[in-house]
Amino acid sequence: MKSPSAQRRLLAFGVPAVLLLANLPASAADTLYLYNWNNYISEDTVRRFEAHCGCRLNQDYYSDNEEMLAKLEAGAVGYDLLVPTGNAVESLIRRQALRELDKSKLPNLRNVKREFLDAWFDPGNRHSVPYATSVTLIGYNVGKIQELGLPTDTWALIFEPKYLEKLKGRVTVLNSQRELMAAAMKYLGHSVQEHDPARWDEAKRLILRAKPYWAAFSNSTYIKDLAIGTVWVAHGYSNDMFRAQQDAAAAQRPFSIGFATPKEGAVLAVDSLVLHKSGRRPDLAHRFIDFMLAGENAADVSNLIGAGNPNAAATPYILPEIAANPGIFPPPAELKRLEMLRDFDPKLRRTLSRMWTEIKVR
C-alpha cells in the first residue's frame, strides 16, 4: 500500500505554477495604460506610438461604456486614458473622475472638426477630445430588401407590422433599453430624451406590437447573422454594419449588406479620449492624445472599423469608400437630425428598466 504524501501531490501542481509566475514580465516604468474599446487602434499605430514616445502602450478592453463605468465606480484605478461615449463623459466629469486637459500640449487639437467641439457633455472641451463617432441605424440584406420591395430609410422597417410580416424572424434589434426606446421615439417624432410617461407608454405599445416579428434582442450576434444571411434587417451600430458588410464581401456571399440612417433621425455616439484621475502618466497620455490627433493616426479608427471621424486632417487618409459612406459620415443636413443620448436621472432609469423588463416578459 503506497500512498505518497499530500505535499507531493500538491507539488506536482505547484511547481509548474511557480515557474510560470517567475516568467511574468516586470511592468515597464514608462507604460501608458489605456482602457479602450477592443480593436480601436491598429497594431501598427500602437507600434508607431511606442517608437514615437519611447514608452509602452498597454491596453485593457471593455465592450460597453457601462462595463467601464461600473468597474471604475467600484474603485478600479491605474488607467491613464479612457475612451467613453458622450453621456459617460458627462457622468465621469460630474463624478470628478477626470483630469483636466493641458491644451498647450495638444497642438493637433486644431484638427478636430468644429461641429464636434464644445459638445453639451463637455463645454469648452476641458476634459475630452472627440475621437470616433458612430450612428445607430438599420443594416439590411440588400438582395432580400429589394426582392421584398421594402424601404430602408425609415424606422418603420423594424416597427411596422405591414413590413415586418415579410420579415418575420429575420429581424434583430439592440438589446439596449435606451437605444431601442430612442429608435421608437424618433419614429414617433419625438426626441430621444423624451421621458413624458404618456410618450413612453406610446413607445412601449409600438415595441410590443413589433416584438412578435423580431427574432432576438442582439448586441453583437447580428453582425454575423447579417453576414451569413440568416438575419435580413438589424438595428445596430454603423461600425458593426460596416463589419458585417466587409465580412459578407470577404466571404463572397451572393448578397451584400447595406446600411442607412432612417430619415426620422437617429442616435449619434461620440467617443472621446479623456484622462482618468488615477492615471500616473498624464505626460504620456497627452502625448498619446496629440499623436492620435495627427491626421494619419486619427484615420486609423475609420479605416480599421468603419467609425466616423471627427478629425478634419484625417479625411485624406481615410479609404474613399468609407469616407463617402453616408451611414458612417452623415452629411451635414443629416447630422442635424442625429441626437446624442444623455443619461436619465436614477429614478427615470429605474422606471425605464422596469418597462424594459415588462417588454421582454410580455
Partner 1 sequence: MKRPWLWAASLAVYAFLYLPLAVVVLFSFNDSMLNAEWVGFTTRWYGKLLHDEDMLQAAANSLLIALVSSSIATVLGAMAGLAMHRYRPPWMPLLVLTPVAMPEILLGVSLLLFFRQVLDLSLGLFSILVAHITFSIGFVAVIVRGRLAGMDESIFEAARDLGATPWATFRRITLPLIMPALLAGFLMAFTLSIDDFVITFFVAGVGVNTLPLQIYSMIKVAVTPEVNAISTLLMALTLTLILIAARFAPDVLKGRS
Partner 2 sequence: MSAPRTQPAGLTKWAVTLPPTLFLLAFFLVPALIVVVAGFRETGEFGGLAPWPQVSLDAWRFLLGDVIYLEVFARSFLVAALTTLICIVLAYPLAWLIARSPKQRRDVLVLLVILPFASNFLVRIYAWIMLLGPANLLYTPLAVIVGMVYAHLPFMVLPLYTNLEKHDPALLEAAQDLGANAWTRFWRVTFPLSLPGIFSGSALVFIPVLGMFAAPELLGGTGDILIGNLIKEQFLDNRDWPLGSALAIMLTACVLALAGLSAWAAKRGMHGTEAIT
Pick one of 67, 100, 118, 147: the residue that binds partner 1 (CB under 8 A).
67
We find the least distance from the C-beta atom of residue 358 to partner 2, in angstroms, to be 6
Kindly state whether residue 191 participates in binding partner 2, applying the rule CB under 8 A: no
Torsion-angle region of residue 169: left (phi > 0), alpha (psi -120 to 50) or beta?
left
184 vs 307, beta carbon nearer partner 1: 307
Kindly state whether residue 102 participates in binding partner 2, applying the rule CB under 8 A: no
Distance CA 249, CA 266 (A): 26
Contact assessment for residue 234 and residue 138, using Cβ atoms and an 8 Å cutoff: yes
Contact assessment for residue 70 and residue 97, using Cβ atoms and an 8 Å cutoff: no
Kindly state whether residue 4 participates in binding partner 2, applying the rule CB under 8 A: no
Kindly state whether residue 16 participates in binding partner 1, applying the rule CB under 8 A: yes
Stretch that binds partner 1, among 10-18, 89-97, 168-176, 318-326 (CB under 8 A): 10-18
Q: Which long-range contacts (CB under 8 A, 24 or more apart) does 350-354 make?
A: 351/200, 352/177, 352/178, 352/181, 352/195, 352/200, 353/177
Which parts of 80-99 interact with partner 2 (CB under 8 A)? 91, 94-95
Instruction: Provide the pairing of β-strand 233-237 with 338-339.
Output: unpaired
Kindly state whether residue 79 participates in binding partner 1, applying the rule CB under 8 A: yes
Encoded one letter per residue, x for contact with partner 2 by CB under 8 A and - for no contact, window 228-267 reads x-x-------------------------------------
Kindly state whether residue 33 participates in binding partner 1, applying the rule CB under 8 A: yes
In the numeric block, which cell numbers belong to residue 252?
463572397
Q: Buried b / exposed e across 309-345, counting CB within 10 Å, b at 16+?
A: bbbebbbebbeeebbebebbbbeeebbeebbbbebee
Kindly state whether residue 162 participates in binding partner 1, applying the rule CB under 8 A: no
Contact assessment for residue 150 and residue 157, using Cβ atoms and an 8 Å cutoff: yes
Stretch that binds partner 1, among 24-32, 81-89, 151-159, 209-217 (CB under 8 A): 24-32
Q: What is the CA radius of gyration of the chain?
A: 23
Distance CA 118, CA 202 (A): 34
135 vs 203, beta carbon nearer partner 1: 135
Pick one of 166, 211, 263, 342: the residue that binds partner 2 (CB under 8 A).
211
Kindly state whether residue 343 participates in binding partner 2, applying the rule CB under 8 A: yes
We find the least distance from the C-beta atom of residue 176 to partner 1, in angstroms, to be 14
Kindly state whether residue 3 participates in binding partner 1, applying the rule CB under 8 A: yes
Task: Kindly report the number of other CB atoms within 10 A of residue 210's CB atom.
Answer: 20
Residue ranges that bind partner 1, judged by CB under 8 A: 1-6, 8-14, 16-17, 20-21, 23-25, 27, 31, 33, 35, 38-39, 58, 60-63, 67, 70-71, 74-79, 220, 223-224, 227-228, 240, 243, 247-248, 250-251
